Amino acid sequence: MPEKNCSQKDVKNILMEIYHLLLKHFGKQNWWPVVNKKNKRFEIIVGAILTQNTSWKNVEKAIKNLYENNAFSRKAILEMPIEKLAEIIKPSGYYKQKARKLKEIAKLKGRITRKRLLSVWGIGKETCDAILLYAYDIPVFVIDAYTQRIFSRLGFKKLDYDSLQKLFEENIPKDIEIYKEYHALLDELAKNYCKKIPICEKCPISIFCEYGRNNLKK
């Protein structure tokens, strides 16, 4: 399904058909998972930082530690010695860097914009957009390595973050819930089937996959 062989109408239809197939296969993911709904926004922000380069299972351990140490607030994070904070979030990996990132993001106040978030040390495009979408309900499509892997195999060769994000934002409804679910469903697809060594024969969207068709012929 290379992009160059598709009209814009085809791309719109294909992207939404992929979404519905994934939704039917995996069901609603209801991201973002939070422990304390009263602290939802800040927990999502913290989680988006902690999940960098690690599994969510490790993030859950770090979040649990933060709550157990009464450290799940901007004030607590800013006042806590960075060495102690790093030790608390150790299960998430890269804990010294992430402790600094948490302190930097905790300083941010006022109106949140993409430009302001990207100006914070340690916040890249993926983390920034996850915070905007899941914590602030701002419709930006989150691109991660899983999405890039899947769509390169589907035949789309423009793999940089911005062009892939533009592909989604121009071709699917600008609906916050669809954005949230689609990103989560793509992650499920990558974790279960579209792995580094893919399981193409069980993939729910193999009908669209250039890579999968070639792989199954071998």
| Tens-digit pLDDT profile for residues 139-181 | 999 999 999 999 999 988 777 999 999 999 999 999 999 999 9
Grade residue 211 by pLDDT with cuts at 50, 70 and 90: confident
**Overall average pLDDT of the 180-201 stretch:** 96
Model pLDDT, residue 56: 95
Give the C-alpha separation, 193 to 198, whole Å: 6
Are 111 and 186 members of one domain? no
Quote the tokens at residue 25: 């296969």
- Expressed as residue numbers, the domain containing 7 is 3-30+140-213
Last residue of a domain, one of 80, 103, 136: 136
pTM for the whole thing? Answer: 0.93
Task: Tell me: do 13 and 66 sit in the same domain.
Answer: no
Rounded to the nearest angstrom, the gap between the alpha carbon of residue 132 and the centroid of all alpha carbons in its chain is 11
Structure tokens belonging to residue 211: 């890579």
Q: For residue 173, tell me if it sits in a domain.
A: yes
Phi, psi of 80 (to 5 degrees): -75, 135
Give me the pLDDT at residue 4, please: 52
Report the distance separating Cα 148 and Cα 214, nearest Å. Answer: 19
93 within some domain: yes
Same domain, 61 and 15: no
Q: Looking at the structure, do residues 125 and 156 belong to the same domain, yes or no? A: no
* pLDDT, tens only, 49-104: 999 999 999 999 999 999 999 999 999 999 999 999 999 999 999 999 999 999 99
208-180-31 Cα angle (round to 5): 115
Same domain, 153 and 176: yes
Q: Which residue type sits at 57?
A: K
What's the Cα-to-Cα distance from 69 to each of 65, 73, 75, 217, rounded to whole Å? Answer: 6, 11, 13, 55
Residue 117 domain-assigned? Answer: yes
Domain's final residue, options 111, 136, 161: 136
One domain for residues 21 and 56: no
Amino acid (1-letter code) at residue 20? H
Q: Domains in the chain: how many in total?
A: 2
Residue 110 located in a structural domain? yes
> Residue 107, exposed/middle/buried by CB under 10 A (0-12, 13-18, 19+)?
exposed
Q: How many residues are given for the chain? A: 218
218 lies in some domain: no
Q: Which of 126, 123, 137, 117 is nearest to 179 (CA)?
A: 137
102 and 167 assigned to the same domain = no
Picking from 196, 201, 141, the residue whose alpha carbon sits closest to that of residue 19 is 141
CATH label of the domain that carries residue 179: 1.10.1670.10
What residues have CB less than 8 Å from 26, skipping those under 6 apart?
A: 185, 188, 189, 204
Q: Which of 83, 107, 136 is the last residue of a domain?
A: 136
Residues 202, 121 share a domain: no
